[in-house]
């Protein structure tokens, strides 16, 4: 062992004999070892000292090894965790790995088998901390979210700190504001972008939770934006959420002012009974928008399936359209088709007078983008 692999290790086990033997073998190998007889005491030690590795039994009263693993991840993303058990089960093994355990070992564990794993874990922890420090300096910490337990903790904080920015949509040619798009924002540093928050929700299977929080936040602002259309992004998976269709849900009271802007991160083909669901939403007063038309995944099939009241052109088609004849032909065709179907066309991402003028000439009569107004919190 070298100084670089001499670790600070916390051993947790409610069996005093196992705890003592494991700790002694690690100390003889040169490691700095602390012990705890249960998960609650272990969490207390984690808050007081920095560790490289936790070696924990899985079956303990009060707080299991899996519970402790989750608590470890909430405290520190980089600490390595080795789970040991005398009663191995596939279910607990899967959960341990899913929540970021480095190893799942079956008792009794011989020192000759444990020590190489411990040395490796210490190196992994040190490397992870160096990598995280580098990513923080580079401003790229969102790439290092961690395992499921860490992601759950950060996603929970993102939901708690979630807020909505509102960007105006204007009519043309008079330039009057007719609506606002509610845009997701969060102060959670490891999930700093809307895409990162949505991706986290997808990975955790918590899209419904995210959608409900967003809709509740928009509903709380709806009175202040009375008289305007409110565009609210809706993941296609949200179309399977019973809460969306409940008259008791916060946004339902404002349905006649709300345009549900469906983003296709998941295919509409996965939504059973799509047409009855859309019909019910419209009966409640909602209108539908197809987002990102022309982005590659929101195409003519979606246009036919949704039959939206609004079509939003993807900003990749809008940017620099005044300098690109191909984009002009594509947008002209999309605008013509949409209008023939009775849909209003919104051009997103408009940033220059040249883009605005070309889009207006192609028949766009609704605009959104920095040229007309940036997303902002509601004042007051």
pLDDT recorded at residue 156: 87
**Strand order from edge to edge, sheet including 8-12:** 32-36, 8-12, 53-57, 80-85, 103-106
Asked if 367 and 346 touch (Cβ cutoff 8 Å), the reply is yes
Dump pLDDT digits (tens) for 149-161: 677 878 888 999 8
Nearest-5° angle of CA 215, CA 208, CA 210? 55
* Number of neighbouring beta carbons within 10 Å of residue 125: 22
Dump pLDDT digits (tens) for 104-130: 999 989 989 999 999 999 998 888 778
Band (203; pLDDT cuts 50, 70, 90): confident
Tell me the average pLDDT across 73-95: 84
Pairing of strands 310-313, 258-263: unpaired
Strand ranges (E), the chain? 8-12, 32-36, 53-57, 80-85, 103-106, 163-171, 177-185, 229-235, 258-263, 287-293, 310-313, 344-347, 366-368
In angstroms, the Cα distances linking 250 to 13, 179, 183, 340 are 47, 19, 18, 35
Poorest-pLDDT segment among 129-143, 225-239, 318-332: 129-143
Placement of tokens 């909430």 in the chain = 74
Tell me the average pLDDT across 347-371: 96
Tell me the average pLDDT across 328-332: 94
**Upstream peptide bond of 50 is cis (omega within 30 degrees of 0):** no
Tell me the average pLDDT across 236-246: 94
Dump pLDDT digits (tens) for 23-41: 999 999 999 999 999 999 9
Token digits of residue 57: 């039994």
Picking from 91, 40, 86, the residue whose alpha carbon sits closest to that of residue 67 is 40
Poorest-pLDDT segment among 133-137, 179-183, 265-269, 308-312: 133-137
pLDDT recorded at residue 142: 47
Backbone phi, psi, residue 170, to 5° = -120, 155
* Number of neighbouring beta carbons within 10 Å of residue 126: 16
For domain 3-138, which CATH number applies: 3.40.50.2300, 2.40.50.60, 3.40.50.720, 3.40.50.1980? 3.40.50.2300
Radius of gyration of the chain (CA): 27
For domain 145-368, which CATH number applies: 1.10.645.10, 3.30.70.2190, 3.20.20.450, 1.10.10.10? 3.20.20.450
C-alpha 160/C-alpha 306 separation (Å) is 32
Element containing residue 46 per DSSP (H, E): helix 39-48
C-alpha 118/C-alpha 158 separation (Å) is 33
pLDDT recorded at residue 174: 92
Tell me the average pLDDT across 326-346: 94
pLDDT recorded at residue 72: 86
Tell me the average pLDDT across 178-192: 90
Token digits of residue 241: 């959420």
Dump pLDDT digits (tens) for 48-60: 899 999 999 999 9
Poorest-pLDDT segment among 137-146, 218-227, 283-292, 293-302: 137-146
Residues with Cβ within 8 Å of residue 287, at least 6 apart in sequence? 229, 258, 259, 260, 308, 309, 310
Is the pLDDT reported for residue 141 higher than 60?
no
Band (89; pLDDT cuts 50, 70, 90): confident
C-alpha 108/C-alpha 16 separation (Å) is 14
Picking from 15, 24, 36, 38, the residue whose alpha carbon sits closest to that of residue 86 is 15
pLDDT recorded at residue 187: 87
**Per the confidence metrics, is the pTM higher than 0.75?**
no
Q: Domain segments of the chain: what residues?
A: 3-138, 145-368
C-alpha 341/C-alpha 87 separation (Å) is 64
Residues with Cβ within 8 Å of residue 36, at least 6 apart in sequence? 10, 11, 12, 42, 44, 45
Is the pLDDT reported for residue 343 higher than 90?
yes
Burial of 111 per CB tally in 10 Å (0-12, 13-18, 19+) = middle
Pairing of strands 80-85, 258-263: unpaired
Asked if 87 and 106 touch (Cβ cutoff 8 Å), the reply is no
247 or 139, higher pLDDT = 247
pLDDT recorded at residue 200: 85
Backbone phi, psi, residue 254, to 5° = -115, 20
Nearest-5° angle of CA 379, CA 256, CA 195? 60
Band (188; pLDDT cuts 50, 70, 90): confident
């Amino acid at each position: 062992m070298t100084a670089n692999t001499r670790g600070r290790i916390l051993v947790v086990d409610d069996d005093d004999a196992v705890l003592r033997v494991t700790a002694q073998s690690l100390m003889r190998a040169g490691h700095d070892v602390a012990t705890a007889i249960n998960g609650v005491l272990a969490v207390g030690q984690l808050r007081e000292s920095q560790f490289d590795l936790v070696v924990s039994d899985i079956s303990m009263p009060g707080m299991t090894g899996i519970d402790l693993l989750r608590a470890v991840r909430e405290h520190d993303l980089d600490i390595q965790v080795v789970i040991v058990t005398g009663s191995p089960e596939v279910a607990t093994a899967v959960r341990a790995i899913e929540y970021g355990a480095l190893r799942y070992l079956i008792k009794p564990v011989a020192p000759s088998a444990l020590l190489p794993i411990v040395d490796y874990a210490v190196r992994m922890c040190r490397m992870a901390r160096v990598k995280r420090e580098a990513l923080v300096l580079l401003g790229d910490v969102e790439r290092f979210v961690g395992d499921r337990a860490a992601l759950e903790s950060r996603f929970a904080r993102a939901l708690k700190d979630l807020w909505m920015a509102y960007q105006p949509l204007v009519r043309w040619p008079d330039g009057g504001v007719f609506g606002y798009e509610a845009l997701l924002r969060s102060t959670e540093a490891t999930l700093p972008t809307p895409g990162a928050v949505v991706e986290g929700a997808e990975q955790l299977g918590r899209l419904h939770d995210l959608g409900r929080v967003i809709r509740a936040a928009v509903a709380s602002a709806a009175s202040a934006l009375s008289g305007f259309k409110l565009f609210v992004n809706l993941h296609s998976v949200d179309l399977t959420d019973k809460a969306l269709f409940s008259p008791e849900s916060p946004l339902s009271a404002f349905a006649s002012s709300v345009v549900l802007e469906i983003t296709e991160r998941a295919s509409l083909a996965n939504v059973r009974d799509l047409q009855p669901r859309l019909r019910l939403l419209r009966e409640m007063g909602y209108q539908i928008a197809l987002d990102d038309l022309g982005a590659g995944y929101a195409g003519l099939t979606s246009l036919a399936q949704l039959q939206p009241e609004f079509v939003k052109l993807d900003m990749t088609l809008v940017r620099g359209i005044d300098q690109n004849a191909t984009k002009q032909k594509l947008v002209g065709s999309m605008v013509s088709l949409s209008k023939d179907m009775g849909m209003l066309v919104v051009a997103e991402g408009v940033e220059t007078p040249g883009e605005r003028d070309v889009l207006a000439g192609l028949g766009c009569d609704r605009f959104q983008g920095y040229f007309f107004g940036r997303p902002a919190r509601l004042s007051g």
